Structure 1
């Protein structure tokens, strides 16, 4: 079980780093809601194919039953993730983008607080220390200590995005727990398909009525749109499966290793060099990851 959730979390973090890079590219020619839809539009057929393959190669005899609570969790989680994504895309347009993204990564800390206050989750002292340390590390890596040009708007957008992502993660886990009649990996796949289905229906309906030119813009960038969807699907598959196995703050703290992948992508493709504070941040991310795994 330990190896499994670590593997799925690392996969999610790696694919999310690529998805963010592709989303930023797409945001130069497509509006916020179009970039948000790009995250889900090809994810729906991929989720259907994945679920079918899962039942072929890992067949089970149990029937699945969806409770009312399950659909409430799914709908709220789907909407929260749409809002979180839209806010993240909005950060791409801010001059102090890096600081905003660092604030958006407060998701792990916010998820821990929400889980403890509202869902009676319990974290050990080591786990809490790891979560807080991870937050500090991401803040350093995003150069959040450089407050020149910092604006309240970036603060609101960044923390708002982190809060919406935290709500999504918590409710995804709660929805998965509602499917207790199924093995963990099957539960996660049903939750993934359900969330993506709601998101695609909602976004296609909205854009079809009010912004058809956005759909045309996505069609014109079909290759990049598919890359965003594929990376997003793989990332969500990793997150949803890992969060079906263990508590959200633990998964999201280890998942902050995503920023290491992002820096490696920047260094390899854009030849950007790390500053001293970023080396400190990398070390803290690794230490936070060790603490939450140990916890």
Structure 2
């Protein structure tokens, strides 16, 4: 039987890919910050619906809303905002599929941060899987480029690479804060606590990025509301993805969740081909298979580790 955290993680990757593609379409209507704020503003109602539905079905209680919990929520929310904005900005540099690929270095970044801050342990085979997966996404990123030492250096320091890696770091930090916020709450139902964190963090993000938008781009907020048909879809998909991510983090080590979450690149290539109409090259197919092989190694390491 497939563990719940794996199902949550794969579902989160699928929802995130779908949401990102929809959000990329919004870039023709909204600014970077406008396209970013819709995922939180329109995601809050969906998050409340998830929380209410889960509580009605399973019951439970949550407590321990200390200042530490609120600080973790604030850090997680801010990290996700920064990561999302950096990712959207990277799309402008070299396309949807490759922009997302650069951000997938978050898997190894999250692993290191989680080991340092949370004391998580990762088996050797899973480390190998993470390395293989990261190698796969980097291969995707560099496909078709000059692979000489100079070419590699230029690829590493191009704007899309820098923005994507920075986005990955922000998402990695966000993951650790979200896990910490869940652990700071009192209660035995980890998924219920994850949904509570989701609603609170989305509310904070709406205030943070919405306030920034009003201060820096006051006219953009009107476009956020006028585009509600498309924006509401982005918000709903964002809430679905975040609910799955938060639940995955609650049930398993952050490093393992982020590593398995690299399957998003497979969904990304499919969306790139069939939704955005971009051509998938042979090198990208090979890279996708390498990513899948890495995820398999991660899971094998997890189960040999126990």
Following superposition, the deviation at residue 254 of structure 1 comes to 1.1
Closer, same or farther: CA 122–71 of 1 in aligned 2, 3 Å = same
Q: Distance in 2 between matches of 1:208 and 1:271?
A: 34
- Conserved in 2, the CA contact under 8 Å of 1:170 and 1:248? yes
* Equivalence map 1:55-70=2 (5 Å): 55-60=55-60, 62-70=61-69
Following superposition, the deviation at residue 164 of structure 1 comes to 0.4
Closer, same or farther: CA 96–223 of 1 in aligned 2, 3 Å = closer
Closer, same or farther: CA 231–49 of 1 in aligned 2, 3 Å = same
Q: Is 1:220 paired with 2:226? A: yes
- Conserved in 1, the CA contact under 8 Å of 2:15 and 2:241? yes
Aligned to 2:52: 52
- Conserved in 2, the CA contact under 8 Å of 1:101 and 1:142? no
Aligned to 1:35: 35
Following superposition, the deviation at residue 72 of structure 1 comes to 1.0
- Conserved in 2, the CA contact under 8 Å of 1:87 and 1:157? yes
Following superposition, the deviation at residue 272 of structure 1 comes to 4.4
Aligned to 1:125: 124
Q: Is 1:280 paired with 2:286? A: yes
* Equivalence map 1:260-271=2 (5 Å): 260-271=266-277
How many pairs are equivalent?
A: 294
Closer, same or farther: CA 36–270 of 1 in aligned 2, 3 Å = closer
Measured against aligned partners, the alpha-carbon deviations of 1:17-54 in whole angstroms (never above 9, x if no partner) come to: 11111111111221111011011111111111211111
* Equivalence map 1:10-29=2 (5 Å): 10-29=10-29
Helix, strand or coil: the match of 2:219? helix
Structure 2 unmatched ranges of 5 or more: none
Following superposition, the deviation at residue 155 of structure 1 comes to 3.0
Closer, same or farther: CA 17–98 of 1 in aligned 2, 3 Å = closer
Q: Distance in 2 between matches of 1:282 and 1:12?
A: 18
- RMSD of equivalent CA atoms: 2.0
Measured against aligned partners, the alpha-carbon deviations of 1:230-267 in whole angstroms (never above 9, x if no partner) come to: 11111111111001001112111111111111212233
Q: Distance in 1 between matches of 2:74 and 2:27?
A: 26
Following superposition, the deviation at residue 157 of structure 1 comes to 1.4
Following superposition, the deviation at residue 198 of structure 1 comes to 0.5
- Conserved in 2, the CA contact under 8 Å of 1:98 and 1:144? no
Structure 1 segments of 4+ aligned residues over 6 angstroms from their partners: none
Following superposition, the deviation at residue 153 of structure 1 comes to 2.9
Aligned to 1:230: 236
Q: Is 1:140 paired with 2:139? A: yes
Structure 1 counterpart of 2:177, from 151, 171, 175: 171
Structure-2-length-normalised TM-score? 0.89
Closer, same or farther: CA 154–282 of 1 in aligned 2, 3 Å = closer
Helix, strand or coil: the match of 2:145? coil
Q: Distance in 2 between matches of 1:107 and 1:162?
A: 4
Measured against aligned partners, the alpha-carbon deviations of 1:199-226 in whole angstroms (never above 9, x if no partner) come to: 0111222223332211111123211111
